[in-house]
Amino acid sequence: MRKGRETMEERDKETELQRPMEPAEEEVAGEEKQGKREKGSLASDLFDWAEALVYALALLVVVCAFFVRLSGVQGTSMYPTLDNGDQLLLLSFGYNEPERGDIVVLMADDFMDKPLVKRVIGIGGDVIDMDPSGTVTVNGEALYEPYINDLNGQDMYLGDIQFPLTVPDGQVFVMGDNRNGSSDSRKAEVGTIPYEKIVGKAVFRLFPFNRMGRIE
């Protein structure tokens, strides 16, 4: 009798084990599996994002090291085009032949303890002339310069060099847009600038944010 009872109990257990899961139980199990899959997917996505960020930062470092540079503006010699504290993005890689009108950053030298930001007025072979009224001529043609700071009726500073001046080959003649507040090629201690002393061309203002944009 006991043996028969034990056999029936064993059959009941087997039946219970083989019994299909109720819908509620299946739903709970499915949710648990789905939760595990979602956690695994989230971890995988986070890893992918982190990996992409590392690659992006590495690429940025390479680009900044070889192609572009950052430079700040100190002083108001380029006002109103640029102002004190502006942060600039410079094109340096492959910038070998400056053009008239380019805004460039010049490396510090004996006559200055910080990089200078100036506008290229003339390149090698150009003949530069100017008068106190503020008119600048290059090869006999007056420049149209809507970017300069108003002289407010004052004579323009002509510096201590002799005009007309012929720019040597491989060099540039530069001036600040704030003509009466700029130390530039009009001063003998600065003079014309060899190409190799040009750090790069300013192409974009990064800061302040309300003036962010291309530089022209």
Contact 176, 77 (CB under 8 A): yes
**Distance in angstroms (rounded) separating the CA atoms of residues 211 and 98:** 25
**Distance in angstroms (rounded) separating the CA atoms of residues 96 and 204:** 18
Contact 120, 133 (CB under 8 A): no
**Distance in angstroms (rounded) separating the CA atoms of residues 3 and 187:** 117
The one-letter amino acid code at 18 reads Q
Q: Is 201 marked active-site?
A: no
Q: Which residue in 45, 39, 201, 24 sits closest to 120, CA to CA?
A: 201
- Point out the catalytic residue in the list 118, 182, 185, 201: 118
Instruction: State residue 33 phi and psi, 5-degree precision.
Output: -65, -45
- Point out the catalytic residue in the list 39, 77, 133, 183: 77
Q: Is 185 marked active-site?
A: no
- Pairing, β 127-130 against β 103-106: unpaired
The one-letter amino acid code at 71 reads S
- Residues carrying an active site annotation: 77, 118
